Amino acid sequence: MKTVSGGVCAAKGFKASGVHCGIRKNRTKRDIALIVSETRATAAAVYTTNLVKGAPLTVTKNNIADGFAQAVICNSGNANTCNANGIEIAEQMCALLGKELGIPATDVVVASTGVIGQPLDIAPIAAGIPQLVKELSRDGGEAAAEGIMTTDTVKKEIAVEFTVGGKTCRIGGIAKGSGMIHPNMATMLVFITTDVAISASMLGKALKSDIQSTFNMTSVDGDTSTNDMVTILANGLAGNAEITAEGADFTAFMQALNTVTVHLCRMIAGDGEGATKLLECRVTGADDEKTAKTVAKSVICSSLLKAAMFGADANWGRVLCAIGYSGADVDVNRVDVSFASAKGEIAVCRNGAGVEFSEEIAKQILLEKEIEIKVCIGDGAHAATAWGCDLTYDYVKINGDYRT
């Protein structure tokens, strides 16, 4: 497996674009994105668990109920959520795009992100769709990645090349996510494309399985979004024998998918609103996977721990505190904690109690951009990883006037 360029356009038969259509006042920012497969593709998606859901999620779920789609359209800057005519707007976006592309409206995945509760005008979207289609390109992945950004500070994309059944295949993805990021699914917008031939049922199985250890283990601020999802299209143009059951080919596909999703998780967490550091909590020694995941999530979601990491303060007591209220069945007298980064690693807790360590060395380790929090809770065989970020002054600044 190797990393390749192209993002969502790396796989055969995919083109993308991103333009400014007028949703945002700032004309230098793209506010709508499009991804299209040259052939109808199998499709799968997972959706937010928030009871308040954006209208596009309902429309998308209906559209891909048959397991197929051919295009993805997403606007940014104004979320189609909590609007009386939200379903109508989402369906109009599908119909307008379908007409322009010459495909059924029901073969369109529709998404939306931005401020919640603001009326969304279809006019700029309708006016922008022809240009969006006109600019479709094999080099359009970056433009699409930019078109879905809200408070993101960097574009998020990746693609990898791998082999299935002797055929060279590719899978790529783009994502947006900076705030309102919290388990469980989904807590961001992620669009994945692949040229692997795989049945809709197996594609859905792969995605639902993967998110349990990737997107469901990512948190920025404890707020689960209302309008986000993860979707994947697979057009089969790589020419492999269709994956219809578990086996070596399905395993190879799962590994490639996981490579893409882990990379995007890390980018989302590291680009959290106002964040200066990516935090990764690795829990080992658990008696079962559920316990490991519960502990890792609790640590990464602790506001006190996140604030300590911002200040490069090796306040390991906050790690134990988060473990203690996690609800996991853990013997706190067996917990070991250490902090690590590119500057080295330092043990701060053994068997649930503090150990002597150099505060100066610890601070140097915690001043790095990527911090690993290592937690061992026993001698079990199970482990889990969660991703998050530090909590800074800028998070409050960004969200204090987000709507206005």
Give the Cα separation of 297 and 224 in Å (integer): 14
**264 and 285 together in one domain:** no
pLDDT of residue 226: 58
Give the Cα separation of 140 and 47 in Å (integer): 26
User: What are the tens digits of pLDDT across the range 317-360?
Assistant: 999 999 999 999 999 999 999 999 999 999 999 999 999 999 99
Geometric angle at alpha carbon 35, from 30 and 41, rounded to 5°: 165
Write the CB contacts of 371 (distance below 8 Å, at least 6 apart in sequence).
277, 278, 279, 280, 309, 339, 340, 341, 365
For residue 171, report the phi and psi dihedrals to the nearest 5 degrees.
-140, 135
pLDDT of residue 187: 44
**214 and 359 together in one domain:** no
Write down which residue in 245, 270, 295 finishes a domain: 270
Reference 144, options 4, 3, 9, 5; nearest CA is 9
Q: Supply the CATH number for residue 284's domain.
A: 3.10.20.340
**30 and 156 together in one domain:** yes
**113 and 251 together in one domain:** yes
Write down which residue in 233, 251, 270 finishes a domain: 270
**157 and 206 together in one domain:** yes
**379 and 310 together in one domain:** yes
Q: What are the E-state strand segments in 228-272?
A: 229-234
Omega of the bond prior to 184 within 30 degrees of 0, cis?
yes
**The two three-digit tokens of residue 232, written as one number:** 């994947």
For residue 49, report the phi and psi dihedrals to the nearest 5 degrees.
-90, 0
Write down which residue in 239, 270, 301 finishes a domain: 270
pLDDT of residue 219: 74
Cβ neighbours of 100 (radius 10 Å): 16
**25 and 143 together in one domain:** yes
pLDDT of residue 225: 55
User: What are the tens digits of pLDDT across the range 58-110?
Assistant: 999 999 999 999 999 999 989 888 888 999 999 999 999 999 999 999 999 99
**284 and 244 together in one domain:** no
* More confident position, 351 or 27: 351
**The two three-digit tokens of residue 383, written as one number:** 């482990």
Cβ neighbours of 40 (radius 10 Å): 16
> What is the span of the domain harbouring residue 302?
278-400
Number of structural domains (the chain) is: 2
**Judging by beta carbons within 10 Å of its beta carbon (0-12, 13-18, 19+), is residue 205 exposed, middle or buried?**
middle
C-beta separation of 81 from 226 below 8 A: yes
N- to C-terminal Cα distance for the chain?
Answer: 45
User: What are the tens digits of pLDDT across the range 190-202?
Assistant: 999 999 999 999 9
Residue 138: DSSP 8-state: T
Omega of the bond prior to 347 within 30 degrees of 0, cis?
no
**245 and 283 together in one domain:** no
Rg (CA), the chain: 22
Q: What are the E-state strand segments in 256-335?
A: 278-286
Confidence of residue 184 (pLDDT cuts 50, 70, 90): very low
**312 and 244 together in one domain:** no
**259 and 331 together in one domain:** no
C-beta separation of 302 from 390 below 8 A: no
C-beta separation of 63 from 71 below 8 A: no
Q: Supply the CATH number for residue 132's domain.
A: 3.60.70.12
Write the CB contacts of 212 (distance below 8 Å, at least 6 apart in sequence).
none
C-beta separation of 60 from 43 below 8 A: no
pLDDT of residue 348: 98
Predicted TM-score (pTM) of the model is: 0.86
pLDDT of residue 220: 65
Any catalytic annotation for residue 187?
Answer: yes
User: What are the tens digits of pLDDT across the range 260-310?
Assistant: 999 998 998 877 777 899 999 999 999 999 999 999 999 999 999 999 999
**99 and 246 together in one domain:** yes
Catalytic entry in 81, 187, 214, 291: 187
Q: What is the mean pLDDT of residues 234-245?
A: 98
